[in-house]
Amino acid sequence: MRGAGTRLEEEKALKSTEGPAYEGLSGTLAARGVDVDRVEGRLRSQRLETPSWGYGDTGTRFAVFPQRGVPRDPFEKVADAARVHGLTGVCPTVAVHIPWDRVDDYGELRGHAESLGLRIGAVNPNLFQEPGYRLGSVCHLDPDVRREATDHLLECVRVAGEVGSDVLSLWFADGTNYAGQDSFIERRHRMVDCLGEVYSAMPESMRMLLEYKPYEPAFYHTDLADWGAALTVCQKLGDRAEVLVDLGHHAKEVNIEYVVALLLDEGRLGGFHFNNRKYGDDDLIVGSVNPFELFLIYVELVGAEEHSETRIDYMIDQTHNIEPKMEAMILSVMNLQEAYAKALLVDRRALDEARRAGDVLGAHRTLLDAYATDVRPLCAKVREDLGAAADPIAAFKESGYAEKVAAERGEGAGAGWS
Amino acid sequence: MRGAGTRLEEEKALKSTEGPAYEGLSGTLAARGVDVDRVEGRLRSQRLETPSWGYGDTGTRFAVFPQRGVPRDPFEKVADAARVHGLTGVCPTVAVHIPWDRVDDYGELRGHAESLGLRIGAVNPNLFQEPGYRLGSVCHLDPDVRREATDHLLECVRVAGEVGSDVLSLWFADGTNYAGQDSFIERRHRMVDCLGEVYSAMPESMRMLLEYKPYEPAFYHTDLADWGAALTVCQKLGDRAEVLVDLGHHAKEVNIEYVVALLLDEGRLGGFHFNNRKYGDDDLIVGSVNPFELFLIYVELVGAEEHSETRIDYMIDQTHNIEPKMEAMILSVMNLQEAYAKALLVDRRALDEARRAGDVLGAHRTLLDAYATDVRPLCAKVREDLGAAADPIAAFKESGYAEKVAAERGEGAGAGWS
Amino acid sequence: MRGAGTRLEEEKALKSTEGPAYEGLSGTLAARGVDVDRVEGRLRSQRLETPSWGYGDTGTRFAVFPQRGVPRDPFEKVADAARVHGLTGVCPTVAVHIPWDRVDDYGELRGHAESLGLRIGAVNPNLFQEPGYRLGSVCHLDPDVRREATDHLLECVRVAGEVGSDVLSLWFADGTNYAGQDSFIERRHRMVDCLGEVYSAMPESMRMLLEYKPYEPAFYHTDLADWGAALTVCQKLGDRAEVLVDLGHHAKEVNIEYVVALLLDEGRLGGFHFNNRKYGDDDLIVGSVNPFELFLIYVELVGAEEHSETRIDYMIDQTHNIEPKMEAMILSVMNLQEAYAKALLVDRRALDEARRAGDVLGAHRTLLDAYATDVRPLCAKVREDLGAAADPIAAFKESGYAEKVAAERGEGAGAGWS
Amino acid sequence: MRGAGTRLEEEKALKSTEGPAYEGLSGTLAARGVDVDRVEGRLRSQRLETPSWGYGDTGTRFAVFPQRGVPRDPFEKVADAARVHGLTGVCPTVAVHIPWDRVDDYGELRGHAESLGLRIGAVNPNLFQEPGYRLGSVCHLDPDVRREATDHLLECVRVAGEVGSDVLSLWFADGTNYAGQDSFIERRHRMVDCLGEVYSAMPESMRMLLEYKPYEPAFYHTDLADWGAALTVCQKLGDRAEVLVDLGHHAKEVNIEYVVALLLDEGRLGGFHFNNRKYGDDDLIVGSVNPFELFLIYVELVGAEEHSETRIDYMIDQTHNIEPKMEAMILSVMNLQEAYAKALLVDRRALDEARRAGDVLGAHRTLLDAYATDVRPLCAKVREDLGAAADPIAAFKESGYAEKVAAERGEGAGAGWS
């Protein structure tokens, strides 16, 4: 009988850059006219941000299943994020969430991160947990509640300055549960007023990202329900207000890559929250439900990269309810590396030719050709070149990190979500 | 055994304004503080536009079931529309579709309409049936096809002038069926270019309505897929470009009344295509699937009417695949009258009070109170005051119109859709 | 300026059975040939079960907003349920949830209920909160976990006996989050084995209801995902295993009244969990999102009542995240009374005639006629006849119950959900 | 500049079984412990049925865009199907549709097919196009219409005998468009009666497949709306009545591979209609929207193949509205070959081990490992071994077949759909 160890050996052989897999793939690609060095260069420059809250315990409304070894404080979350970066090579920043990551000395948190080769990325306020926000935060009818909410946003602007971040990433749970409960338009005006104050307080170098979501936790309407709602608010705020696309925040029939393209064309695509879902906002591992969709999104992004200097923040936003959190995060990063790699392999010249010829299936098959390619050896090579792991999950398992933190941290602590 | 005739008598009694029903209702409403005269006045000024193509044979991709008596030409469609207006009192315009309603002398068509107490409303171009539009019209990669499409739109601007219309109502089937088939962004730029030329050609008094739709007939992406896509194109064109909301053109989870409110707030709600659906773009009778949603949309519209002078074109857009077309149209008009009446009965002061008090269920129940009211006697009274029928469907059946046109027109003609 | 008090007076006048509203309605209905006494009789015999957990604090995965005065133990939940029954007249049973309602002496709980005029209804096990159920309960691969789950179900059979209940109502959160995680078929066989043991342990008088749900908390697959899945398991268990329909547990496009009809025709419709939703399993107030759908479901039930002796358990299952819980429960009950009343008003003879004549719109309009009727005076009359309140919400507010329990109970206690 | 010709050369090189691609892949697989010969053997025995109507003109309700060279009669459709088989090696049968494929002498059609190396597969009746079926066929309230529908089904049983087919594949458009239009239950009983007569008339060797669909062309309810509805009818008919799964016929949130597994477990999975969709029943090329879902379905099928002798008919059912029909069909076949190949590569032992260990991500990644594999060289090798083409689309283009039939057949003829 074959043990798990044996299988690990085989996997390593398959993915090793020493073996024939990489040689075969790069040879094949070169024969197809692909500039493999350039593709690898772009893969090495990929940047993904992991979220501090993704390392802690999370769950559904029905249950939170605690896991051993989850971080007990923001410093340990940063440590976990640093480990993911060490294994994958492309995750040099970690998003923080206030108040879950509130510390006495943000300079200390920043220094801790930098000592581990990491920087603090987007600062995410929390305007949905306090009892006062039962009927909304920046959209609440009570000006005192809006004041409190705005003050929290201003606090986050300050925190961003202290941790060295230039991104304020905003998601609002604001909405209503019953028809008639409040005025759509008045709520919108309240939001624009509050955000206008925050926008004015941001230093010139800082950007504000506005995330939209169709429902949950609000079940009748959400104040920023779709990209149009977020975009029109951004238009009122200024150029440094941009839209954030969370892959799980769309009605079931929405073509997300099309939304991405429109936002790129409007110059307002600020960033992503990557995850995946089959039903609602399931927050599963990136690429675990529909990897082809993820590839198609990257096809748009690769095209945009070549035509503009737009900065886009690529962030992961997941909750790992039943699976090991760090392994899940690593898998997401790998899936994003593979999606990007495949998108880079699209034969753009052939695609343009087919489109110009009105060759529907020729154009489609050009994407299929790239998507069908097994890019794992290429991604492994890139990770090795970055000083990370060819097979990050195997390396993580071998490292004993999970066992070590489980012993040190025990049950962890609900520093966050639950 | 009770015959259908007897039931008709009963229905008439129920709905008659002579009987106790209207007296009871208006008394109850007055006792609740409703200004019944004002409500009736606004109901009398309601305006709905019926579509010429709604009187002809339509169907699904699987079958078109021809009905006897459908119009053989645009003049007969106008006659049917005039009959609907005569019975309901609130449908003084009819939308036309070019080329389905193309005639040699548009002045004659206009005169025909006016002789029947009707005006020609929105002019609707057709850019989806010609073989040349297989891969798109204004978004097509071939400039010759775009030229042809733009010329057709310019023709429609001229037709609008000749028939006395000031509305160009645009729906584009443009989109792709397969990932990669064409560039989202290039297609969008092509559309903006073509529409810019058309916009410039419109007289100052004319408005352009842009309709969006998530899918069908395009099955991978549609170039104007949602309200955000339509709005951002309108922003590029000018103030007289506005968004048209078709109730059947939303992803399943979209809160339509919220979209209506946002478009109102942006000053870009140009009009409606009313119909209803349970699944896709089913184009069923207005209010037949979710009458509460229709009511909620009207609640937003009633609120907006009181605060602005915005012109909104209220149009019906249905296909009657298995049911009698004129009866279906009349039922839709009645359902729209009832939805508007109920929205007018909402106690706005109580609503505001409840909202200000944070009384979630109080605000919600204020809407429920209006919705639960049986407004049929009120609508019957208003129709009678307008010289139309208290019970339009009974009156239509008694009139023998259907039998008359069936005898005259026979199988009708595929002047349109099929 | 008119105060809320004044509005309450008006509402009472509107709904009072002394005033003209009831007289007018019953007269109109009688004139239409409705046997009003018979309708009232059936309305008086309507039975709805409220859930003990609906009186406690609940929320989303993002937040639980505690409310003052929520029950601190099962006895107080029963007291709240008794109050709802007192005000509405049709809620003589309360469902319990084990372990949330676990007490040392179930006989005492039963006696407490009976002393308040209530009986204990369905017993609901909980197999989704314990850490051991992270990967499932009766479908878990580990036989020890399945043993534990089965034992809990057997405990609930015993509890049912002790509280005088004859219904075991089962919902399983079992499912997987990632493709490949476990075998669909093996999990199903494990479930059938466990349930077979429980079924055998039930006394002859007891029924087992199986609830299905497409997703949440499982996000890749759920072991009982739709009515077909639940029905086929029931077929394997025996005649006293029946399907429970929760209105929020369907994919977005499902026609629920059709599913209800099929289950009736199969003789396997065991009961309902009433609530409403616009998006996911939102668990909002019954009838608050799509009251027409609720009416259509009752149209099927009224038809079935006339043809069979099937017992169906009508239960409410809601979570009240932002609104007052008892007011929300009362409103749900009233909405269910109105839906049933309207369904009873459908002119079945006219409906059959129209159907037999192939008169699509005639049949449809027969339903619309019943639905448009303002049945509130009728329902108020029925409630008064039952010794309950004509206007239960006003009566509840006037009673000071909410203030009283808030003072007594304070913040309540997380006896349940959160 | 590189021409299309050059690209074709490269593609051939990539896919050739002479080159290093196959050697590299088979070596890697063998190193992983895969029995490559066995996998190839099962791939060679894959069987897919193409539909005669997929070769003719089809479209949406908005337009049918005719293509040059489409078949003018059933014989030419069979010829096209034979060509697809010749190029792919796995499509030895063609489904026919009556009356679209009605011929005077079915023996001649059968002989024609056999002379081209083909057999006639499933016989598909048409009960949705005749005006008499406006309100239904086997569910119609009029017994004369049901008689006509049943007679047509009996005709198809006879046709099946004459063409040598043992499969009757039934899809019903039956349903209603408006609430109340007809009785769900009575319609169901009518269907069971009609199908019972047909079932009795089938020879012992013949199977009846029942297809379900949630909506379109019926827009309120469909008589066989989901797998539960189809299964319960099959249970009433007998063992040779089985359910047919069309990938486009599910509500948006349905997990199709789970439905497949349940039907396998019930012993009632009769066959597939393969296609793909992003929105409604879009009938696009198999695997063009969500290839991972297609793979997951095959993972279930591969598992079932190993445990039973169940016969499943794998059929393609697509409409090619804008793309070349034969190229589209070939691409679908290739996508099905690749999905099957990947499913065969799943390391079942590793999967079982991970599941038994409760290793959620280990089990999931076992599927990902197979899915990420570039199986194109393997499929090319298998096709060559079958005497078909390594690169069927390139071979088809080189063959000049499309140009030849365009010249011979011209505009084709609407032998079917439109």
The pLDDT tens digits of the residues spanning D129-185 come to: 999 999 999 999 999 999 999 999 999 999 999 999 999 999 999 999 999 999 999
Select from D221, D361, D364 the Cβ nearest to the Cβ of C255.
D221
Question: How confident is the model over B56-70, as pLDDT tens digits?
Answer: 999 999 999 999 999
Residue D212 belongs to some domain of the structure: yes
**8 A C-beta contact, residue C309 and residue C301:** no
Give me the residues paired with residue B94 across strands.
Answer: B50, B120
Residue B219 has pLDDT above 90, yes or no: yes
Q: Residue A414: what pLDDT?
A: 54
If you average pLDDT over every residue of chain A, what do you get? 94
Which chain B positions have a beta carbon within 8 Å of A226's beta carbon? 226, 228, 254
Residue of C258, C299, C302, C353 to mutate for D, most D C-beta atoms under 10 A:
C258
Query: What residues 338-357 of chain D have any CB closer than 8 A to a CB of chain A?
Result: 338, 347, 349-350, 353
Higher pLDDT, C18 or B337: B337
Asked if ipTM goes beyond 0.90, one says yes
- The CATH number linked to B216 is 3.20.20.150
**B360 contact C CB<8A:** yes
Is the residue at A11 inside a domain? no
The string of DSSP letters for C9-51 reads HHHHHHH-SSSHHHHHHHHHHHHTT--HHHHHHHHHT---EEE
- Output the pLDDT for position D416: 55
**CA atoms of D283 and D320, how far apart (whole Å):** 8
Q: Hey, what are A191's tokens? A: 């939001």
More confident residue, C413 or C36: C36
What residues does D313 pair with on adjacent strands? D271
pLDDT tens per residue across span A295-325: 999 999 998 888 777 899 999 999 999 999 9
pLDDT tens across A146-187, in order? 999 999 999 999 999 999 999 999 999 999 999 999 999 999
Non-local CB neighbours of B124 within 8 Å, separated by 6+ positions = B51, B95, B96, B97, B98, B156, B169, B170, B171
Task: Identify from B1, B2, B7, B286 which residue to disrupt to test chain C contact, counting C C-beta atoms within 10 A and taking the largest count.
Answer: B7
pLDDT digits (tens, 9 = 90+) for C240-284: 999 999 999 999 889 999 999 999 999 999 999 999 999 999 999
Q: What is the DSSP letter of D32?
A: T
Domain count, chain C: 1
> CA torsion D30→D35→D37→D40, rounded to 10°?
-100
Within a 13 Å sphere around the CA of D129, how many CA atoms are in the beta-carbon half?
12
Instruction: Show the domain range for B176.
Output: 46-347
Measured between CA atoms, the residue of chain B closest to residue A259 is B229
Q: Does the residue D38 lie in any domain?
A: no
Spatial distance between the Cα atoms of D246 and D272, rounded to a whole number of angstroms:
6
What does pTM read for this prediction?
Answer: 0.95
Per-residue confidence (pLDDT) for residue C413, from 0 to 100 = 61
d(CA D243, CA D251): 17
Instruction: Please name the residues between 26 and 85 in chain D that touch chain B, using a CB distance below 8 Å.
Output: 58-63, 65-66
* Residue C219 Cα, gap to closest chain A Cα (Å): 6
Name chain C's partners: 3 or more CB pairs within 8 A: A, B, D
In a domain, D31, yes or no: no
Interface of C with A in 197-216 (CB under 8 A): 214-216
How sure is the predictor about A418, in pLDDT bands with cuts at 50, 70 and 90?
Answer: very low
Q: How confident is the model at residue A9 (pLDDT cuts 50, 70, 90)?
A: low
Q: How big is the C-D interface in CB pairs under 8 Å?
A: 149
- Residue B39 has which token pair? 């409500």
- Helix (H) or strand (E) segment spanning residue D27: helix D20-31
Cα-flanking dihedrals φ and ψ of residue B273, to 5°? -115, 105
Question: Do B365 and C393 count as a contact with CB atoms less than 8 A apart?
Answer: yes
Is the residue at B8 inside a domain?
Answer: no
**For residue C99, cis peptide bond before it (omega within 30 degrees of 0):** yes
Q: What is the pLDDT of residue C410?
A: 87
Closest-CA distance, D365 to chain C, in angstroms, reads 8
In-domain check, residue B368: no
Ranges A2-11, A82-91, C12-21, C58-67, most confident: A82-91
B285/C101 Cα distance (integer angstroms) = 48
Question: Is the pLDDT score of A11 beyond 70?
Answer: no
- Concatenated DSSP letters for C370-412? HHHS--HHHHHHHHHHTTS-SSHHHHHHHHTHHHHHHHHHTT-
- Higher-pLDDT residue of B404 and B413 is B404
Are the C-beta atoms of residues D95 and D49 closer than 8 Å to each other?
A: yes
pLDDT tens per residue, chain D (418 residues)?
334 444 555 555 444 444 678 999 999 999 999 999 999 999 999 999 999 999 999 999 999 999 999 999 999 999 999 999 999 999 999 999 999 999 999 999 999 999 999 999 999 999 999 999 999 999 999 999 999 999 999 999 999 999 999 999 999 999 999 999 999 999 999 999 999 999 999 999 999 999 999 999 999 999 999 999 999 999 999 999 999 999 999 998 899 999 999 999 999 999 999 999 999 999 999 999 999 999 999 999 998 888 777 899 999 999 999 999 999 999 999 999 999 999 999 999 999 999 999 999 999 999 999 999 999 999 999 999 999 999 999 999 999 999 999 999 987 665 454 4
Whether B3 maps to a domain, the answer reads no
| Strand pairing category for A221-222 and A175-176 | antiparallel
Q: Averaged over A61-82, what is the pLDDT?
A: 95
A1, A2, A7: best to mutate for the D interface, most D CBs within 10 A: A7
Residue D66: exposure state from Cβ atoms within 10 A (0-12, 13-18, ≥19): middle
Contacts of D296 (CB under 8 A, 6+ apart): C179, D257, D367
- Residue C314 domain-assigned (yes or no): yes
Interface of C with A in 85-114 (CB under 8 A): none
CA max distance for chain A: 68
